Copies of this chain bind each other. A is one copy, B any other.
Amino acid sequence: MNSKVRLIPLGGLGEIGKNMTCIEYDDEIILIDCGIMFPENDMLGVDYIIPDYNYLMDKLDRIKAVLFTHGHEDHVGAVTHLMQDVKAPIYATPLTAGLLRVKLKNAQLLGETTIHEMQAGDTLNIGQFTIEPFHMAHSIPDCVGFGITTPAGLIVHSGDYKFDHTPVDGWPPDFAKLAEFSQRGVLCLLADSTNATRRGWTQSETLITDAMDEVFEAADGRIIVATFASLISRIQQVGDAAIKHGRKMAVVGRSMKDNVRMALEMGYLDLPEDLIVDLDTARKLGNSKIVYMVTGSQGEPTSVVGRLAWNRSRSLTLEAGDTVVLSAHTIPGNEETVTRIINRLFHLGANVVYEDLTNVHVSGHASREEMKLLINLVRPRYLIPVHGELRHLMAHGQLGQDMGIPEENIAIIENGTPVEMDANELVIHERLKGGYIYIDGSGQVGDVTRRVLRDRERLADSGFFVMGVPTKGREVTGKIEFITRGFLNLEDELFNGTETVIREIVQRHGSKKTGDQLTHLIEEAVIRHLHEETGKRPFVFVILK
């Protein structure tokens, strides 16, 4: 028997250990989170990416629990994939459980899944593991980290966190629990590295209260606030500002509506019933009497803000004099889309308030001074930076070293790299095989491969050029059919030139070659011809008729 505890980050794209972490002791496994990542701009056509948990497929019966830290998509979004394979119970705090139930219900998996609601402060005995969820502040309520006691020692997992002393829901992080872990002795700390290159201390969510107040003070016309549907605390702050400035609030967009309803029912939003009005009522109110709470802070074209910017919304049309507030951080990769939307909204006559000059958003993740505090509170033997790209983990690891943790006690690992540890040593093993799992369209694993993505990239650059060529012996016997898309706007000119090339090839080789050989010869000649004429290399195919 291996007396060490074994840990593997099984993330998706880019960030390490963010979407899923596997912890094993003896023959028992627990999983933490199961989220999705959004594809990078050059992963063409891909909807999202799920963690590669192929490693678990021959160990499914050893999985004892799936624990969730909080309800953001990058931590819960792949649950409907995982629960098709895993039959272990889920453990989550009430809000997170509520969000999971919606997903599982839509995927018709709710009936066969067990969900245990837990509270921060509980102690759960799961096999040889003792799990202690503890409260952390982040940008969604009901967020926890975990103390995980194993026979090899105590592992502390921070979850996504910031040390916000004045969070909007009034529930600060559980410093006492962290200190208590420290007194018991912590083998290993897994800590959020998202802002490891950001100096200082992340500002409190309450800072936004003042910024919103200024925006509401200055605005004469309608106010439209866009944020993530899951950013419950932001909705609370906008609601509070609306009350203070005598406005009603209308919620637009399905996900935003669903979340507001659930948060009100479960008590995570504290707003009077008559504050929220429907769209018809909202339209009848004066422009200075209403604030719209909408989705689309990332510039998604199908979101409310996206449709507003391109004049495609049925429920809401932008008017000159509107104030649009983008109250969210731009996710890396979305910068271009978001700035384009901002420019469009200005173009339409709106006043746009966004991160650059006004404090309408603060990060939900700890900055470097908070990371230092966490390390000093927990005083772990080993530090494993997680939740960040490799460059963030490197910066976090260096910070750990600067604070006196020996270099050999810090594991900078990538997704799929197992680590084993006990009080004596920390061993980093060979990375498991695996990679990204793309989900596209049908939602089935394996439909999109590296090859498909490479082909899409070439199509995106140069399109395709297909010809139906009627031949008999050495002659082209009829009209050549050309089908091309995404290439160049030069059809007539290129069709004529290509036809000459084809006739020549058929004349020279038509009687001597098989159909496959002739097809190949024509394709080669046309590729060469098109490249000479245009400098581009579209996909070229011939169908002989």
Residues of A within 8 A of B (CB): 14, 40-42, 44-45, 197-199, 332-333, 335-336, 339-340, 342-343, 346-347, 352, 354, 356-357, 389-391, 394-395, 414, 440-443, 446-449, 451-452, 455-464, 466, 468, 481, 483, 485-490, 533-536, 539, 541, 543-545
Contacts and interface: CB of A to CB of B under 8 A. Distances in A.
Contacts of A490: 447
B460 A44 contact: yes
Nearest to A519: B481
Contacts of A333: 335-336
Nearest to A446: B489
Contacts of A347: 390, 414
B468 A463 contact: no
Contacts of A354: 391
B481 A543 contact: yes
Identical copies of this chain, number:
2
Given A452-B486, A459-B463, 20 more contacts: A44-B460, A45-B463, A45-B536, A197-B357, A333-B335, A333-B336, A352-B394, A440-B536, A441-B488, A442-B536, A447-B534, A449-B489, A456-B459, A456-B460, A459-B485, A460-B460, A464-B464, A468-B545, A543-B543, A544-B545
Contacts of A390: 343, 346-347
A541 B466 contact: yes
A346 B452 contact: no
Contacts of A486: 44-45, 452, 455-456, 458-459
A457 B533 CA distance: 23
Given A391-B343, A545-B545, A488 B442 contact: yes
A15 to B, nearest CB: 10
A456 B487 CA distance: 8
A464 to B, nearest CB: 6
A523 to B, nearest CB: 11
A372 B114 CA distance: 63
A348 to B, nearest CB: 10
Most B Cβ at <10 Å: residue of A41, A42, A391, A468: A391
A330 to B, nearest CB: 10
A40 B340 contact: yes
A539 B487 CA distance: 14
27 contacts: A44-B460, A44-B461, A45-B462, A197-B356, A342-B391, A343-B389, A343-B390, A343-B391, A346-B394, A347-B390, A352-B394, A440-B536, A441-B462, A442-B488, A447-B488, A452-B488, A455-B486, A456-B461, A457-B460, A458-B486, A459-B485, A460-B460, A466-B483, A466-B541, A468-B468, A468-B543, A483-B541
A356 B368 CA distance: 12
A464 B452 contact: no
A306 to B, nearest CB: 13
Contacts of A481: 543
A448 B354 CA distance: 34
